[in-house]
């Protein structure tokens, strides 16, 4: 007989453990939030623009086209979509290591993230010079 829910015994045991010890979840959430802060800081130090605030378990970071290939050299397989990478968040030490690799990739790049102010300036200047 198979249950209508695809849940195995191990998942049930883990759920029981978490329900009996809710601090496991609160500690994990706090650790992921700290990891997000570490990654956001390192991305900014690299001249990249993380999409903030983070309210999920991932962070989007605007980055140059060649970032994905460069990150592969550090053992990270990422995909770029619409000018961003999406990074699943984790503990601060892991996010720190990824952030360091991200910083290293930008040292070789010529990417400069544009702010809305910069784009408005360029449009205004172009209209003024016409």
Peptide bond into 27 cis (omega under 30): no
- State the pLDDT at residue 121: 44
- State the pLDDT at residue 108: 63
Q: Is residue 67 assigned to a domain?
A: yes
Q: Is residue 3 assigned to a domain?
A: no
- State the pLDDT at residue 38: 98
Q: What angle do CA 59, 64, 70 make, to 5 degrees?
A: 90
- Judge contact between 75 and 34, C-beta under 8 A: no
Per DSSP, the three-state class of 15 is helix
- State the pLDDT at residue 95: 96
Mean pLDDT by 10 residues, the chain (130 residues): 76 94 95 97 95 92 90 89 92 96 80 46 45
- State the pLDDT at residue 119: 47
- State the pLDDT at residue 1: 63
Cα separation, 93 vs 73, in Å, equals: 19
| Domain total in the chain | 1
Q: Is residue 55 assigned to a domain?
A: yes
Q: Is residue 4 assigned to a domain?
A: no
CATH of the domain at 41: 3.90.1150.10
Q: Is residue 119 assigned to a domain?
A: yes
Element (H, E) at 93: helix 92-107
Instruction: Give the structural domain span for 108.
Output: 9-129
Q: Is residue 114 assigned to a domain?
A: yes
What tokens appear for 114 in the block? 């544009």
Q: Is residue 36 assigned to a domain?
A: yes
- State the pLDDT at residue 31: 96
Q: Is residue 49 assigned to a domain?
A: yes
Cα separation, 105 vs 17, in Å, equals: 41
- State the pLDDT at residue 46: 93
Cα separation, 29 vs 19, in Å, equals: 15
CA distances from 72 to 66, 67, 75, 98, 112 (A): 10, 9, 5, 11, 21
Cα separation, 32 vs 51, in Å, equals: 16
């Amino acid at each position: 007989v198979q249950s209508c829910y695809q849940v195995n015994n191990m998942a049930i045991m883990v759920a029981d453990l978490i329900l009996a010890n809710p601090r496991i979840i609160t500690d994990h959430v706090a650790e992921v939030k700290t990891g997000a802060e570490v990654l956001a800081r390192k991305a900014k130090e690299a001249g990249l623009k993380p999409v903030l605030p983070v309210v999920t378990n991932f962070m989007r970071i605007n980055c140059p086209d060649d970032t994905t290939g460069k990150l592969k050299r550090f053992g990270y397989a990422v995909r770029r979509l619409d000018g961003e990478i999406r990074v699943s968040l984790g503990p601060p030490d892991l996010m720190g290591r990824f952030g360091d690799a991200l910083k290293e990739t930008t040292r070789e790049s010529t990417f400069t993230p544009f702010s809305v102010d910069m784009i408005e300036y360029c449009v205004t200047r172009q209209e003024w010079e016409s």
